[in-house]
Amino acid sequence: MNCSELVELVTDYLEGSMPAEQRARFDEHVSGCDGCTTYLEQFRITIRLTGMLSEEQVEPATRETLLGVFRDWRASA
């Protein structure tokens, strides 16, 4: 496994969807390669930053509208 192959396998690695033998070769490569260690770390940071995007609230007007939707449905049911 060389570096250009490894970068295509990072998600498989992080998902735990690699055969054990391939995983061992991945680990072995990373432990001896600063570039791939950094790449793997950047991938993890990227995932963490992406996870910081979802901090949204429901707007009060939307809440009101949807409550109306529910009451209409209940009245017609």
Partner 1 sequence: MSDTPSGAATEQDLALVRALRAGDETAFMMLVERYQPAMLRIASMYVSTRAVAEDVVQDAWVGVLKGLDGFEGRSSLRTWIFRILVNTAKTRGQREARSVPFSSVWAAEPDVEPSVDPDRFLSLGHPGSPGRWAEPPVGWASTPEELLLSKETLAEVSRAIDALPPNQREVITMRDVLGWTSADVRNALDISETNQRVLLHRARAKVRRALEGYLGSGRERTS
Q: Would you tell me which residues interact with partner 1 (CB under 8 A)?
A: 2-5, 7-8, 10-12, 15, 17, 33-36, 38-39, 41-43, 45-47, 49-54, 56-58, 62-63, 65-67, 69-71, 73-74, 77
Select 24 or 69, whichever has its Cβ closest to partner 1: 69
Cα within 13 Å of Cα(58), Cβ side: 8
Kindly tell me which of 21 and 73 has the beta carbon lying closer to partner 1: 73
Taking every pair of Cα atoms in the chain, the longest distance, rounded to a whole number of angstroms, is: 67
